[in-house]
Amino acid sequence: MNRTKIAGIGYYVPERVIPNSELVNLMDTSDEWIQERTGIQQRRYGKPHQETTTTMGAKAAEIAIERAGIQKEDVDLIIFATLSPDYFFPGCGVLVQRELKITHKEMPALDIRNQCSGFVYGLSIADAFIKSGQHKNILLIGSEMHSMGLDFTDRGRNVTVIFGDGAGAVILQPTEQNEGILSTHLHADGTHAEELAFINPGCHGGYHLGQERFGYPDAEYGGIFMTEKMWNDQDIFPNMNGQLVFKTAVTKFPEVIHEALKSNQLNTTDINMLVPHQANLRISQFVQRSLGLKDDQVWNNIQKYGNTTAASIPIALCEAWEAGKIKSGDLVCLAAFGSGFTWGSALIRW
């Protein structure tokens, strides 16, 4: 049976390094707090008005395309995962097609959300398209420009210190060899959708599941995207119930990894490299301990880049591969958890 392999991989992170010490000048936080709670030492921010989620995604894509040994024109489907798109609509899929100058190909461009799980969801979608025979060169991108949408005041400090900008991309192709994606497992539970969310502006108009939860009664017609009250309250940034996310993540990560291993009759000892979504170094360390993995079986880079959401797995995977830590025949496990809540895993024979 045909499988789907990663034929090329690339990543791009912006040049501008933001150490914790720079955030200390903007809000009530400290290098010690950030490092102790998250492991993060620095992150990258894109150049405002010059770089966007799309342009960073295009740079990562160009590297992946070159490494796959194909031409841009060979791409026959674009899948773009992000929670920080350039525009409300259209999505970054068509924008990156234009940025790569392949609009003449008129291939489909698919935008997916799924936040921190976006790359694993995208991989699963690409795998299904490849197996169906419908597409042969799929470009999957995870890219985020968080820095343009964060609250740099004390109120947003629990969220803002975590996130960074960057992009990762892969080219997916069919293979008949004993390699490629062995399985993907995806999950979602919308019960806590607002516990890690960027709610305003939006069309909820202040009404949520029968309650005036957000308190924007002025949103009747037309004003639902941005009300004066939202602006005055500066209630226009992401919010997170960090402890709930943390507790759920440390349960769901091991669960979905075990699910993947079990369905392939494999064990944790078979994993050569686990690349977890880089949410928090403490979460990754907890997952490592609960699976009994050694340090050289897990790749972490959140110290350098912060949490880059949909981009974090492809960036980390590419770094691990470039460092020679992933070799042909290795069993690679990807796992993600995040807003939604959504979570998932993928097992890949490299």
> How far, in Å, CA of 174 to CA of 137, rounded?
8
Please state whether beta strands 138-144 and 273-276 pair in parallel, antiparallel, or not at all (unpaired): unpaired
Instruction: Confirm or reject binding of residue 297 to ligand UT7 (CB under 6 A).
Output: no
Instruction: Confirm or reject binding of residue 153 to ligand UT7 (CB under 6 A).
Output: no
Q: Which two tokens stand for residue 137?
A: 């060169």
Long-range contacts of 93-100 (CB under 8 A, 24+ apart): 95/54, 96/54, 96/57, 96/58, 96/61, 96/141, 99/54, 99/55, 99/57, 99/58, 100/58, 100/61, 100/62, 100/72, 100/75
Which stretch in 9-17, 155-163, 229-237, 316-324 sits in contact with ligand UT7 by CB under 6 A? Answer: 155-163
Rounded to the nearest whole angstrom, what is the least distance from the CB of residue 124 to ligand UT7 in the complex? 19
Instruction: Confirm or reject binding of residue 272 to ligand UT7 (CB under 6 A).
Output: no
> How far, in Å, CA of 323 to CA of 319, rounded?
6
Residue 97 or 143: the one with the smaller Cβ distance to ligand UT7 is: 143
Instruction: Confirm or reject binding of residue 149 to ligand UT7 (CB under 6 A).
Output: no
For CA atoms 317, 323, 324, 325, give the dihedral sign: negative
Query: Does the annotation count 203 as an active-site position?
Result: no
Query: Does the annotation count 277 as an active-site position?
Result: yes
Q: Restricting to residues 102-121, name those near ligand UT7 by CB under 6 A.
A: 116
Q: Restricting to residues 157-196, name those near ligand UT7 by CB under 6 A.
A: 157-158, 161, 196
Residue 158 or 183: the one with the smaller Cβ distance to ligand UT7 is: 158
Query: Does the annotation count 92 as an active-site position?
Result: no
> How far, in Å, CA of 331 to CA of 350, rounded?
6
Instruction: Confirm or reject binding of residue 243 to ligand UT7 (CB under 6 A).
Output: yes
Instruction: Confirm or reject binding of residue 334 to ligand UT7 (CB under 6 A).
Output: no
> What residue ranges bind ligand UT7 (CB under 6 A)?
29, 33, 37-38, 116, 157-158, 161, 196, 242-243, 245-246, 249, 279-280, 283, 307, 338
